[in-house]
Structure 1
Amino acid sequence: MAASTRGITKSLLPAPKTRAAMAKRLAGATPAMTTATIAEMEERHPWFRALDADYRSWVGVVARAGIDGFVTWFSDPDPEAPTTTDIFGAAPRALTRKITLSQTVELVRTTIDVVEAQIDEVAPRGDRPVLHAAIVGYSREVAFAAAEIYARAAELRGAWDARLEALVVDAVLRGETDETVLSRASTLGWHSSGGVVVVVGPAPESESTQAVESVRRSAGTAGLDMLGAVQGDRMVVVLGGSALSTPEFARQVVSRFVDCFGAGPVVIGPPVEHLMDAVGSTREAFSGYRAAPAWPEAPRPVESSDLLPERALSGDGHARRALARDLYDPLVAAGGGLLDTLVTFLDQGLQVEAAARALFVHANTVRYRLRRIHEVTGYSPTDPRDGYALRLALTLGRLRR
């Protein structure tokens, strides 16, 4: 045997025959110890009193197995660490779902307290120091065994939840969100009834599960629901919450966990009203993610609407129509020379004076019209990036007409 027997040094350990005799004397008191343990549990813990009779009975079985296990373990000539099967194997697996780990620790602590008290009553004075030392070491191993059971159960639940979450995310992205998918999302903690944003970026270089959980914690801190999954070389995050109706808030939240993605662009789709409508945000987010390499200087994260020029050039029909509809058509409808002023200003290299000479108007008139263009379209012709989008919108608008 090793230099110590789980808390008892070898110099204090009695001979095997002596230990067997001590265990035999203690075995006669095990029924009384079990009864006293159950009574003590009733006295100490309200959660135990609230259990159904069946579960209280199973707790008694576990307590008796633990006490009998101690006696058997102590009497063994070469005792090893107690196994989970010896102690918890008699109870159904459902018990781990009914009793938490902290409650199991309370069960172990109460049982040990009762056993120690019984040792002082039934064991000869000379046996007590060794038995007390042995019960302390044994209880430690029982606690480790309980932790192992709950850890395995948590791993199984976590693996199942991860697979279920991946299925839900896949259904949402493909636009197949029906009542069944919504029910599964609710099981995973999704409670949002309004405001949904899809975010896509490179898969994390580290453990994907840890990255998804880090995103979940950040989203939870912001008061948002979250579903996430790694799909091949990309990670997809679905956020839910009424505050996401404003793109600025979505960008702020994503900025908090953007480092959880791998190296590369992280694109935020536009907000939609409900999880069943998330396919619209998905389409734009994925389109922006595919086109993002054409704008390596883009901020991280970047909104899909900021990538409209790149998306249009990469073949996204929605982006082409959006540029023509939201930029070109309003300028045509506004009149007042805005369209001609924009074309001339862009052709003259963004020079106000040169545009004024070409148009035969005062420079202040050009400046006023440029401000009006900004008001009408939301894009400023004096900004190089906005000017690029406006130039492309002019081309697409003309082609469409």
Structure 2
Amino acid sequence: MAFEAMFEPIQIGKLTIRNRVLSTAHAEVYATDGGMTTERYVQYYEEKAKGGIGLAICGGSSVVAIDSPQEWWSSVNLSTDRIIPHFQNLADAMHKHGAKIMIQITHMGRRSRWDGFNWPTLMSPSGVREPVHRATCKTIEPEEIWRVIGNYASAAGRAKKGGLDGVELSAVHQHMIDQFWSPRVNKRTDEWGGSFENRMRFGLEVLKAVRAEVGPDFCVGIRLCGDEFHPDGLSHEDMKQIAKYYDDTGMLDFIGVVGSGCDTHNTLANVIPNMSFPPEPFLHLAAGIKEVVKAPVLHAQNIKDPNQATRILEGGYVDMVGMTRAHIADPHLIAKIKMGQIDQIKQCVGANYCIDRQYQGLDVLCIQNAATSREYMGVPHIIQKSTGAKRKVVIVGAGPAGMEAARVAAERGHDVTLFEKKDVIGGQIT
């Protein structure tokens, strides 16, 4: 089989994952009804499982406490037992197709919004305001620190009770854990700040509490950045030291690595590399961290092509490749590779329509694939041949809608003629 490296199973903790490809945590903006994984949410992920993905980590920025509001991105709400039966539906849908499913859990600290929801008092290690989201925050008190640590543990317990396969602690994108890590944000002089060990303490206590809650066999990982890209921020060498510190505890089953911090407009643009970036622009950061840790390393950012993914895996740079936007564009990517239908893959072009919508609080959609996130409406990714009479179909206008209509009609077996007055097709996206 071509692309063999992509299809090798991998052991992560007690889990055997059927291949080396995952969809990493991202904010889908589908968890409505107070942060529940609704039928739309389930079908969005189930389509990836049908398409052959090995692992999906759902729920980017899924919150563990009510003072980290979930309404902003309609993220998953792990602060209530209401979520448990919803998780059971999600887990069943993924497992019946052979895929594993985890969820990212976090407290966003200062990187949130105070307005328009339950008017929470935002907290950070030292009350330092975030440049991008600009919300004012207070300095978190010691008793609140321990309460939030308990919130993480309870959230992980709910994920386990719901039948999910694991949790990923978010210590990336300037959420609460990595806010404690960073001397730019953490100015404390007590046991939670100052020295390296003190700045690591919050994340360590979270990890210990989570592991105590879920036991040794439930999969627990962490996601961190490989370099904050700030003159006074955490460098690549700093992040290697941090990764090794947590890896040495023996409590982590995997480490996810991405490039860049996320609390200025420039670094925010790095996090979801658009079409102006080269392929895998931050792979070297993940590879650098892999050199110093024992746990499997996962990496995503601009990995869109099976040749690219195979080269990365064969080179031993990381252990699993995240093809997240590639699976938004085509959740059947893995199945098409297996069937030798590479030319039928809908390619992610890095337009970032998905992330642009998310930052407006809108549901994630795809400029390349009209079926993405509309599975719950019955919009299919795989078009079946019509059982009725073959027809002649004329479509005027070869923009995205016209081309999609032509494609669907042709795949259903009809004779299609597509008219366009210009000498190029594509309409307003050419």
Per the normalisation by structure 1, the TM-score is: 0.23
Higher strand share: 2
Query: Larger C-alpha radius of gyration, 1 or 2?
Result: 1
